[in-house]
Amino acid sequence: MSKRGAFIVIEGLDRSGKSTQAETLLKNLQDAKIPSKLIKFPDRSTPIGKLIDSYLRSESELDDHAIHLLFSANRWEVVPSIIKDLEQGTTIICDRYAFSGIAFSASKVHPPAKSASPSTFPIQPTPKLSYEWCRSPDISLPAPDLTLFLDILPEKAKARGGYGEERYEKEDVQERVREVFIRIGEEIESSGVGKWVVLDGGLEKEEVEKSIWDEVNPLTAGLKTPIQKLW
Ligand code: T5A
Ligand code: NA
């Protein structure tokens, strides 16, 4: 059996440098003559992606369940092409994946209830969608062989260009999102399906590039193992 390409996902908070690093990695793979391709979610170019784009820009409102399912459908519509490319030996770099889907949706909370007497205790916000519910539409998607999670403190991400323009780019949201990402990473690592690596996204671009290459390099020879499924 000939070798297949590796499925590499780059995840992280908003402005952690995912797109910058995904493009650099593509260039480095191409320079090394490794057949490779970059994809990104949400893919705003498809009919489903256009609905997502309008929602993210706050130009439209959608029920939380409905937008979550659209994000998932936007991944499922690309699955046949992901599998075909991997089987033909192309390595895929994927800028965000199902993990963003879970982290952002499971972080949505109800606004605090207006009580008659102000409480002296901090009230824990209640999630709108459970973690399990958020995970279910993405069950059986192709599993990444490697997920690189670019970790960054929300306050540091905020200082970078363009922050605050889209719906979820608020510090309290990003802090909850980061917590969910950490939980997902622990589950991936203990499931034995694919590898989850946390990298410091707060470093200089060139340093992050190097830490990514150290992780990706062992996969550039191609893989003989079958493509696995998420969870
Ligand atoms: N979402 C997504 C869901 O809710 N559900 C889902 O299922 C999915 C897939 C849009 C939103 O959708 C949500 C999550 C998001 O809130 P998007 O289209 O990926 O997702 O968002 P973008 O706006 O394209 O990307 P991000 O905001 O996440 O930014 P990146 O890609 O992490 O960061 P990047 O590379 O564009 O860099 C940002 C800025 O920082 C600089 C760059 O030059 C740029 O100006 N920078 C650095 N500066 C200093 N040091 C470094 N190391 C730097 N690296 C980059
Ligand atoms: Na991006």
pLDDT score at 165: 85
And the tokens for 45?
């170019």
Helix, strand, or coil (residue 182): helix
pLDDT score at 162: 81
pLDDT tens profile 42-61? 999 999 999 999 999 999 99
| Ligand 1, pocket residues at CB < 6 Å | 12, 14-20, 41-42, 56, 71, 96, 100-101, 104, 160-162, 166, 168, 204-205, 208
Q: How does residue 1 score in pLDDT terms, banded at 50, 70 and 90?
A: low
Provide the mean pLDDT of the chain. Answer: 95
Give the residue-averaged pLDDT of 127-142: 98
Cα–Cα dist 103/112, whole Å: 20
Task: For residue 162, report the distance from its CA to the centre of ligand 1, in Å.
Answer: 9
Q: Is the pLDDT of residue 199 over 70?
A: yes
Q: How does residue 64 score in pLDDT terms, banded at 50, 70 and 90?
A: very high
And the tokens for 36?
């490779």
Give the residue-averaged pLDDT of 83-87: 98
Task: For residue 120, report the distance from its CA to the centre of ligand 1, in Å.
Answer: 37
In sequence order, the 6+-apart residues with CB closer than 8 A to the CB of 198 are: 149, 151, 185
- Report the range of poorest mean pLDDT among 48-57, 86-95, 113-122: 113-122
pLDDT tens profile 154-172? 889 989 978 888 988 888 8
Cα–Cα dist 157/163, whole Å: 8
Q: What's the CATH number for 7-110+124-219?
A: 3.40.50.300
Domain boundaries, the chain: 7-110+124-219
Taking the CA of residue 16 as reference, the ligand 1 atom at the shortest distance is: 32
